[in-house]
Chains A and B, each alone.
Chain A
């Protein structure tokens, strides 16, 4: 009897650990909520095609990029279906797997009608699938038309649906505590407007970390592979932005990395005045640094306005909402006193050009609904927290979290925003190699000169490798279109 009990118990353990194993390796989060409905509309579509006088009704399938707003999108989908009767299916790719999921989903027979690209590089990859949106209401409503992704033929292929900013997020309570101390380098944050002052303040704060009750000025510089995008993408944007503007360029086949020293300035400051030793950074994830900030162990962390939900979501969070503020990233570049936050977007909506006419129209209507109806706008602002760059949103219709407020303050205070030029970085490979080099540098296995060399050579190599294919892709796209025309003719 005892024996039987034991074996049953063991069996149960085995089965449960199996379930755990399976559960966590499942990647795309698919919510089959509207699956049935989609199928029904498909049959409807066929009927409609036969009966041409009937109004064609499509359906929307949105491939969502942000796992953190998965639930909100499901709500939006349900609300839209309720309001208009058009089925909306939303599928969210797990963090970091968007391109993979999109690649397989879009090749399927039930392809997404609405998907997202991250900028010119993304457009280059997906141009066969991007539908020309010029003349649509959503494009006309865009306040700054230059934000949209345009093709070589002048068509509009990607429309940004939110604007974001990043900089150094600081905890004002800790800063005030420091300013009140004897011998503080400056007396208010407003006096920090260049790298030298910033460096002096940070180093002084680090030396007084016990009195300030922190473990380090900066939250750990997360260099765990895959968690290093704040450096190889966001921070790297600053030197690239200044190099582009020196050369009056919007993209370069070869980067000199002429502001490499400035990158090193700020990066050294981050890793040497942190909550842990530079050699330990290889084990830190973004969530670790956000938690350190939220728990008051660090006074500053480099991240964007999307980070607020992460800060607020940490258990035992001690940071008061009114104390969460933004500061530009100073790197010692001439004229940086006037520099603001890095503001831009890497969230562009694209409509699948290879979807059926009815589905495309349904998708465009869905986008319009989101930016023009009262309900849609409310969802955009309050549920998704998007700072929507459309003229249909008025002054009050803006997200109200502290970092978004700071973002608008910087947009209006006359400082010069740094554009998001990292959308032109050649490839993920380039970024990964840059990140890996930064890790080696902070572990002391690589000198800065070697890092610089990797950036310069890998940039050139990857630009060549990815643009070399461009012309071929174009002819290929034409062929696909021709083939399609033929099949249609048949």
Chain B
């Protein structure tokens, strides 16, 4: 068996490997190389060393501000999305009538594209703020909370499905045993259910964390950074650098590499942290 597997290893993996290297590995390496270059199109790159990285952190680029804004956004949205999703999942795993309908309804926002969502919410939020003679872009606070609401609305359903799957896998005998031992429903939740769904928590926190950190479409459509780039997140900052002025393509690329490193470090750190809390059953 081993032998035949080895024999056919290349035949089976090669197509995927080729596709993967064309679609991912080669552009990725090229991207890193380009971050050390000055270029207009990927073909006429000229090596300039670390100059782009220096410019990326220079004042006026707003990179650090965007980093701070993104971090704050991520913190709040990860907490709120997971709390709300878990609560919904708890309700929808009780044997109520119509759970499936509710599950579908809550899940649906996740199927709408980010740009569409951004514009839709922009209209809705503006319609409300109109009553107060103001708009979404009048104050960075509105934009910030607008983004949080949008992100929650979009992500809760997806996370809820994952939590539901986790909760349904909690062995009923454990819950029954807890009941017999006289545990309150609150204790059952914290001491039995939660440890048993830690693997779902890992996935959900990972997904919300990386998606919030990398948020782009929604940010671009909802506020586009207004007012005065105060609601500009990292991905949008990189995009604006790349297309904002001639000769700054390399700087945008350098920022993108830094961005990749940040996301990778955070995501891996979070994974190993929550993994440790998972229990086997």
Which residues from chain B contact A437 at a C-beta distance below 8 Å? 228
A479–B46 CB distance below 8 A: yes
Which residues from chain B contact A436 at a C-beta distance below 8 Å? 225-229
Bound together, the chains give a CA A277 to CA B130 distance in angstroms of 10
Interface of A is mostly: helix
A277–B133 CB distance below 8 A: yes
The answer to whether A21 and B113 touch (CB under 8 A), given A14-B108, A107-B43, is: yes
- Select the stretch in A242-250, A279-287, A290-298 that faces chain B: A279-287
B136–A225 CB distance below 8 A: no
B171 near A: Cβ within 8 Å?
no
- Select the stretch in A84-92, A413-421, A427-435 that faces chain B: A427-435
B116–A24 CB distance below 8 A: yes
CB proximity to B under 8 Å, residues A5-29: 6-7, 10, 13-14, 17-18, 20-22, 24-25
A40 near B: Cβ within 8 Å?
no
CB proximity to B under 8 Å, residues A431-490: 432-433, 436-437, 439-440, 443, 445, 461-462, 465-466, 468-469, 472-473, 476-477, 479-480
Which residues from chain B contact A100 at a C-beta distance below 8 Å? 243
B44–A440 CB distance below 8 A: no
Bound together, the chains give a CA A369 to CA B60 distance in angstroms of 48
B185 near A: Cβ within 8 Å?
no
Which residues from chain B contact A382 at a C-beta distance below 8 Å? none
Interface size on A, residues (CB 8 A): 58
CB proximity to A under 8 Å, residues B147-168: none
Partner of B112, one of A6, A17, A445, A480: A17
A124–B134 CB distance below 8 A: no
A283–B135 CB distance below 8 A: yes
B244 near A: Cβ within 8 Å?
yes
B111 near A: Cβ within 8 Å?
yes
B134–A280 CB distance below 8 A: yes
Bound together, the chains give a CA A466 to CA B245 distance in angstroms of 7
The answer to whether A443 and B138 touch (CB under 8 A), given A24-B115, A282-B226, is: yes
Which residues from chain B contact A25 at a C-beta distance below 8 Å? 113-116, 217
B169 near A: Cβ within 8 Å?
no
Bound together, the chains give a CA A469 to CA B111 distance in angstroms of 44
**CB-nearest residue of chain A relative to B42?**
A107
B246–A18 CB distance below 8 A: no
Which residues from chain B contact A20 at a C-beta distance below 8 Å? 112-113, 116
Which residues from chain B contact A477 at a C-beta distance below 8 Å? 44
Q: How close is A329's CB to chain B, nearest CB, in angstroms?
A: 25
A128 near B: Cβ within 8 Å?
yes
Bound together, the chains give a CA A6 to CA B101 distance in angstroms of 9
The answer to whether A225 and B225 touch (CB under 8 A), given A279-B133, A283-B136, A479-B46, is: yes
Bound together, the chains give a CA A479 to CA B133 distance in angstroms of 57
Q: How close is A337's CB to chain B, nearest CB, in angstroms?
A: 37
A472–B46 CB distance below 8 A: yes
**CB-nearest residue of chain A relative to B223?**
A225
A445–B245 CB distance below 8 A: no
Bound together, the chains give a CA A14 to CA B60 distance in angstroms of 44
Q: How close is A173's CB to chain B, nearest CB, in angstroms?
A: 29
A128–B40 CB distance below 8 A: yes
Which residues from chain B contact A224 at a C-beta distance below 8 Å? 137
**CB-nearest residue of chain A relative to B129?**
A283
Which residues from chain A contact B112 at a C-beta distance below 8 Å? 17, 20-21
B113–A473 CB distance below 8 A: no
B44–A480 CB distance below 8 A: yes
Which residues from chain A contact B137 at a C-beta distance below 8 Å? 223-225, 282-283, 439, 443
B245–A279 CB distance below 8 A: no
A226 near B: Cβ within 8 Å?
yes
A426 near B: Cβ within 8 Å?
yes
The answer to whether A107 and B41 touch (CB under 8 A), given A279-B134, A280-B130, A282-B137, is: yes
Which residues from chain A contact B101 at a C-beta distance below 8 Å? 6, 10
The answer to whether A106 and B41 touch (CB under 8 A), given A124-B246, A282-B138, A465-B248, is: yes
Which residues from chain A contact B43 at a C-beta distance below 8 Å? 107
**CB-nearest residue of chain A relative to B250?**
A469
A225–B226 CB distance below 8 A: yes
Which residues from chain A contact B136 at a C-beta distance below 8 Å? 282-283
A24–B135 CB distance below 8 A: no
Bound together, the chains give a CA A22 to CA B111 distance in angstroms of 9
A308 near B: Cβ within 8 Å?
no
A427–B246 CB distance below 8 A: yes
Bits for A259-287, please: 1 = Cβ < 8 Å to B, else 0: 00000000000000000010111110000
Bits for A113-140, please: 1 = Cβ < 8 Å to B, else 0: 0000000010011101000000000000
Q: Which residues of A contact B (CB under 8 A)?
A: 6-7, 10, 13-14, 17-18, 20-22, 24-25, 99-100, 103-104, 106-107, 121, 124-126, 128, 223-226, 277, 279-283, 426-430, 432-433, 436-437, 439-440, 443, 445, 461-462, 465-466, 468-469, 472-473, 476-477, 479-480
A–B pairs, 10, beta carbons within 8 Å: A18-B111, A20-B113, A24-B113, A25-B113, A103-B249, A128-B40, A283-B137, A436-B225, A469-B38, A472-B46
Q: Which residues of B contact A (CB under 8 A)?
A: 38, 40-44, 46, 60, 100-101, 104, 108, 111-116, 122, 126, 130, 133-139, 217, 223-229, 240, 243-249
